[in-house]
A and B are shown apart, each in its own frame.
Chain A
Amino acid sequence: MSAEKFVYVIYIRTTPEKLWEALTSPALAQSYWCGCRIESVWEAGSPWRLMIPDGRVGDAGVIVEIDKPRRLVLRWRNEFIPEMRAEGVSRCTWELEPAGDMVKLTITHESDKTGSKLIQSVSTGWPVILSSLKSLLETGDALEATKQWPKGV
């Protein structure tokens, strides 16, 4: 069992295909992920990275498992905050399940490091991003707060 872990669930009125596209498309991710672009060829074993608008790599890793549009498992390391980078690799799982006219999205993020700063940090970040993702898919517009990278970070 992981030392640190959280499990977040959000229900979004959309289809698994549209949600998968929103999660993996650089252009769509930009609007709800604070201007960051997520880049990968989306195949098992291939790298992925989250690019900060100023050109730094935010987070990166390797795709462990991919089953479009149902399940994605990522090895995940923070790259731009030395203290978190030093923690090494965490693991993030996205699961998409149809639930009536909605899709249940479960994000699990876990680390073997006790007291992981990365898990602390992403545990406050994910709710904002997920809430904006829901807004984007249901209304066509993401939340203002997530459209740009925060100043000075």
Chain B
Amino acid sequence: MAAVFRALADPARRRLLDTLRARNGQTLKELSQGHDMTRQAVTKHLVILEEANLVTTQWSGREKLHYLNPVPIQEISDRWISKYERSRLRSLADLKRHLEGHDEEKT
């Protein structure tokens, strides 16, 4: 669980996860193009995300594709949020998104 928090602590890594959420199954090349980072920097971040199990990879022919894996975040949610609180929290999160008028985090 510490690896998940460490991985999520970095805004560049959160942006990589956002990119995969928008379109799953991207290559390193595609991920590097979408971000203002060198391919080496993206590789370094992807290793940390993979170690935290937030990103999984699969080979498709000669291409290594990266997929968002939200399962560790689900485990965190299961640990601290009971089933009774879940729907209420979702409503509050929806309200916040609605009032702030955006879908993505700004930072």
Contact = CB atoms under 8 A, between A and B. Distances in A.
Interface of A: 1, 5-11, 106, 108, 126-128, 130-132, 134-135, 143-145
A31 to B, nearest CB: 14
Contacts of B78: 131-132, 135, 143, 145
Question: Chain B interface secondary structure, helix, strand, loop or mixed?
Answer: mixed
Interface in B32-77: 53, 56-58, 60, 67-71, 73-75
B53 A128 contact: no
Nearest to A5: B25
A75 to B, nearest CB: 19
Contacts of B73: 127
Given A5-B24, A108-B58, A145 B83 contact: yes
Interface of B: 24-25, 53, 56-58, 60, 67-71, 73-75, 78, 82-83, 86
Contacts of A10: 53, 71
Given A1-B60, A106-B56, A7 B69 contact: yes
Given A128-B74, A131-B75, A9 B58 contact: no
Given A5-B24, A9-B56, A144-B82, 9 more contacts: A5-B67, A6-B68, A7-B58, A8-B70, A10-B71, A106-B56, A127-B71, A128-B74, A145-B86
A142 to B, nearest CB: 11
Nearest to A134: B75
B18 to A, nearest CB: 16
A127 B82 CA distance: 16
